[in-house]
Chains A and B, each alone.
Chain A
Amino acid sequence: MDAAVRELSYAQAIQEAMAIAMDMDERVFLMGEDIGVYGGAFQVTGDLVERYGADRVIDTPISELGGAGVAVGAAVTGMRPIFEFQFSDFATLGMEQIVNQAAKMRFMLGGEVSVPLVMRFPAGSGTGAAAQHSQSLEAWLGHVPGLKVIQPATPHDAKGMLLAAVADPDPVMIFEHKLLYKMKGHVPEGHYTVPIGKAEIRREGRDLTIVATSIMVQKALDAAAALEGEGIDIEVVDLRTIRPIDRQTVIDSVKKTSRLLCVYEAVKTLGIGAEVSAMVAESEAFDYLDAPIVRLGGAETPIPYNPDLEKATVPQVPGIIAAARDLVKGVR
């Protein structure tokens, strides 16, 4: 097969990254619920247990707090765990170890230790799994100094950022939107990394900057394509990392387009959109703005079960198109 066009799904890309990480470094191992013979709830670990054995692909009991803590303890003493939460919602059970321990241990001990830990969180709505299996909690962790928080939006980045995370000496939290797992895209063979802390311009444009995260990147691109015919030229910035955030790429883009729309799935208020907006408002880009900054985020509700309500809870392409058009046409 032509290496340049090799396509993998997002889930396969993550699996390949974990295999490469385990091949390269025997300290790397996987922990999580049903990641062995079951292959993971979303088949991300797949058959890795057959290839690497149950000692390196460890099924934990249903013990998120303890499991997360064991991963922290192993990381701080020389191993390189990759810990899978079965759903990102269960981060709430592991929060103590993530927030109080993993994030702060190096700091509290005056730099005497590092916590080279990777945690993976299948996140987001759209599967009909209702309020406790559909949340987007990345901003919670993004609020914690000591953690790095990433949201790869493509198979290519999923692999490259996971490999960057494994190489990182500090705890990296990876939020993977469940609806992206089946998304196919070009993924190079072998080892490569995509830097943490660097946004990517997915599409260049003059009229409006859309800063999007995770699954909203593709939706923003779809909206931009639809508006092309109306002569509206949109730039789409894939934030990729929410901590540490790439201020410069966003600010430079807004200086160019003079308009900003933030699109993300998590609940709108007190979220990543507020941070991006404030970042721009505090910067020299403020003087370039021709319109108010607009945020499109999740409704102020838990995710409902009913499929139509569920869809209405988070930004969809038509809503992004309408908001972008209004912004550019000066309706708002």
Chain B
Amino acid sequence: MTGARKAVIDSRANLPFVYRQYSPEQLRQVLHKMYLIRRFEEGAEECYTRGLIHGTMHLSIGQEASAMGICMPLAEDDQITSTHRGHGHCIAKGAEVSRMFAEFFGKTTGYCKGRGGSMHIADVAKGNLGANGIVAGGIPIAVGAALSSKMMKTGKVVVSFFGDGANNEGAFHEALNMAAVWKLPVIFVCENNGYGMSTSTARSTAVKNIAERAAAYSMPGVIVNGNIFSEVAEASFKAVERARAGEGPTLIESKTYRHRGHSKSDRNRYRTKEEIEDWMANRDPITLFENELRDFGFIDDKGIEAIRDAVAREIADGIEFAKASPAPEIATLENYVYTEHA
């Protein structure tokens, strides 16, 4: 290690939260996973374009720091509910990309045995209770999971991810109120990417910041730059501490941006090319984090190259695994509708 770099690390006290809280190895792992999310979605998109995956998908490219930052302080058995834009959440919570690809290919080795696809991607073993096809559908479910945690005294914290569009559903308001009244260990994470499909928050939402909704339910409302990993992780860390201490829920608004269209059929008529290019060129969360890591001496170009190579292999292997996996038999069509009896 060069003397200059050692000096930087020694003076970690002045660095942003995550550089004080986590080891260099943990932080390199975060970069690895951000790349994994990005390349997974690019890979899925390419498979879709080539007709290997059907249906539609909602890509979270540009929102990786938000998913990673929120999940950073979570324990393996903490739980999340996710959204239609849920690939990043799934990977951040520990899912394997091979089984995610298998799900997208509709195979039995997929996380939902080929029944759910992109919009219902889940990894229950890792605490991901599922993406959701219904906007705001996961929010009350997270509150229910937090109620279980409290009643069963498991100590689990639950995170509910949702978009800015979800804050105008009744379920959001009902869920926040119950969580606050019952002081449940739940964290509401609004990933505000500026639009619900084509509708900007300015056109859909009466408050300027969705975090302001927290006041109506007497919980802290925190705004973070969702493209800066450290900011997101710090807010999540505090909310997790508060939840574990039995002090109740927090609403975190993570301001971010999706680079891609809403889904595969979006013509982007509601936003300008300049706006999209600005976010991509100047506020890309992976670039921002990577530069920070490099500047602070936590990684060098060779290390970054190694991460990119490893991720590329994981993605290629994952796609191969998915292709080689068996499809479900038609005879199993009505399986899993009800609980099987042994």
Q: Which residues of A contact B (CB under 8 A)?
A: 33-34, 36-39, 41, 59, 61-66, 89-90, 93, 127-133, 299-302, 304-309, 312-313
User: A34-B199, A309-B330 given as contacts; is B168 within 8 A of A127 (CB)?
Assistant: no
Q: Which of B14-22, B114-122, B214-222 contacts A (4 or more CB under 8 A)?
A: B114-122
Query: A130–B120 Cα gap in the complex (Å)?
Result: 8
The answer to whether A33 touches B114 (Cβ under 8 A) is no
What's the least CB distance linking B303 to chain A, in Å?
38
The answer to whether A62 touches B55 (Cβ under 8 A) is no
Query: A34–B54 Cα gap in the complex (Å)?
Result: 23
Query: A41–B84 Cα gap in the complex (Å)?
Result: 15
What's the least CB distance linking A42 to chain B, in Å?
9
Contacts of A38 in B (CB 8 A): 197-198, 266-267, 269-270
Return the contact of B204 from the options A61, A129, A133 (Cβ within 8 A).
A61
Contacts of B55 in A (CB 8 A): 127-130, 305
The answer to whether A59 touches B165 (Cβ under 8 A) is no
What's the least CB distance linking B320 to chain A, in Å?
19
Chain A interface mostly helix, strand, loop or mixed? Answer: loop
Query: A308–B106 Cα gap in the complex (Å)?
Result: 9
The answer to whether A305 touches B197 (Cβ under 8 A) is no
Return the contact of B120 from the options A90, A127, A305 (Cβ within 8 A).
A305
Q: Mask for B106-137, Cβ within 8 A of A = 1, else 0?
A: 11000010111101100000000000111111
Q: Which of A300, A304, A306 has the most CB of B within 10 A?
A: A306
Top 6 A-B residue pairs of the complex, sorted by shortest distance between their CB atoms: A128-B55, A132-B133, A305-B117, A306-B106, A38-B198, A61-B168
What's the least CB distance linking A178 to chain B, in Å?
12
Chain B interface mostly helix, strand, loop or mixed? Answer: loop
Contacts of A307 in B (CB 8 A): 54, 106
Q: Is the CB of B327 closer than 8 A to any CB of chain A?
A: yes
What's the least CB distance linking B90 to chain A, in Å?
15
Q: Is the CB of B56 closer than 8 A to any CB of chain A?
A: yes
What's the least CB distance linking A94 to chain B, in Å?
11
Query: A63–B136 Cα gap in the complex (Å)?
Result: 10
Query: A53–B342 Cα gap in the complex (Å)?
Result: 60
* Other 5 A-B pairs with CB < 8 A, given A38-B267, A133-B133, A305-B116: A34-B198, A36-B198, A130-B119, A131-B116, A305-B112
Q: Is the CB of B233 closer than 8 A to any CB of chain A?
A: no
The answer to whether B328 touches A306 (Cβ under 8 A) is yes
User: A59-B199, A62-B169, A65-B170 given as contacts; is B328 within 8 A of A309 (CB)?
Assistant: yes
The answer to whether B199 touches A301 (Cβ under 8 A) is no
Contacts of A302 in B (CB 8 A): 337
A/B interface sample: 10 pairs, CB < 8 A: A62-B168, A62-B169, A63-B168, A89-B134, A128-B117, A130-B133, A131-B133, A306-B114, A308-B106, A309-B330
The answer to whether B330 touches A308 (Cβ under 8 A) is yes
Q: Which of B55, B103, B116 has the most CB of A within 10 A?
A: B55
User: A65-B170, A66-B170, A130-B119 given as contacts; is B334 within 8 A of A305 (CB)?
Assistant: no
Q: Which of A41, A128, A313 has the most CB of B within 10 A?
A: A128
Q: B52-91: which have CB < 8 Å to A?
A: 54-56
User: A63-B170, A90-B134 given as contacts; is B115 within 8 A of A128 (CB)?
Assistant: no
Q: Is the CB of B24 closer than 8 A to any CB of chain A?
A: no
Contacts of B203 in A (CB 8 A): 59
What's the least CB distance linking A98 to chain B, in Å?
15
Query: A313–B114 Cα gap in the complex (Å)?
Result: 14
The answer to whether A312 touches B170 (Cβ under 8 A) is no
Query: A306–B205 Cα gap in the complex (Å)?
Result: 36
The answer to whether A132 touches B204 (Cβ under 8 A) is no
Q: Is the CB of B322 closer than 8 A to any CB of chain A?
A: no
The answer to whether B114 touches A61 (Cβ under 8 A) is no
The answer to whether B334 touches A61 (Cβ under 8 A) is no
